[in-house]
Amino acid sequence: MRAITLVIIFIVSFASSANDFSKEIKLADNVVQGRVMSKSSEWVDGKVVTFHQVLVRDDLMAGALGKPAQSELVITQAGGTAVHPVLKVAISQTISHQVTLKEGDEAIFFTHTDSLGQQQLVKGQNSVVAVQGMGTDNVVLPAFKQLKVSKSSPQHANLLRAEQATDVVGKAVLQQEALTLPNAKARIKQLLADKLAKQGKDDA
């Protein structure tokens, strides 16, 4: 009688980022999924400041706290282009190593409250995590990966048959694909719950 083998092939040809938002959660006062609807810049104390109006689709922090969700979040950043109040010409200021927000950006935003009560992005490259596919059945975070099990290709099956005398059935391939938005939000909500639980213990 022939042996039947279940084969799982690991495909590791993708560059992968850890699906972990721990650093951003630790620094954030607000975590929302939304879209940058508009932006405006002005001179404040001798420098250009840009205000981004974000339409909030899902207020993850409010959900974790059990508070009413906000419908809009204004994110403030140094830099931008505005007319100088004295020179009356448009002047641009750029801040190096800063994430630049554009109108139409769909993302998960991690922000903190500064000394003036304004919302600013937390430090780190994942302070803004792009979301793609809104309005479709496949909404993903392309910068992050998750595992997916799928059937092996004919090439894999032929290779396995050539290497062993047994019949190969039930072949499965473990691949990586873009992290889905529901899975990302589930991870973020768990991290927020852990953070709030820890804060509760520290305050006790």
What is the C-alpha separation between 23 and 188, in angstroms, rounded? 11
Pairwise CA distance, residues 69 & 67, whole Å: 6
User: What is the reported pLDDT for 148?
Assistant: 76
pLDDT of residue 56: 98
Domains in the chain with CATH codes: 25-136 (2.40.50)
Residue 125 has which token pair?
Answer: 């490259």
Q: What is the pLDDT of residue 156?
A: 53
d(CA 191, CA 28): 11
Residues forming beta bridges with residue 120, ordered by sequence position: 112
Burial 9-48 (b: 16+ CB within 10 A, else e): eeeeeeeeeeeebeebbeebebbbbbbbeebebebeeeeb
Q: List the chain residues with pLDDT less than 50.
A: 1-18, 160, 165-169
Q: What are the distances in angstroms from CA 8 to CA 32, 155, 173?
A: 37, 14, 5
Give me the pLDDT at residue 16, please. 39
Helix (H, G, I), strand (E, B) or coil at 125: coil
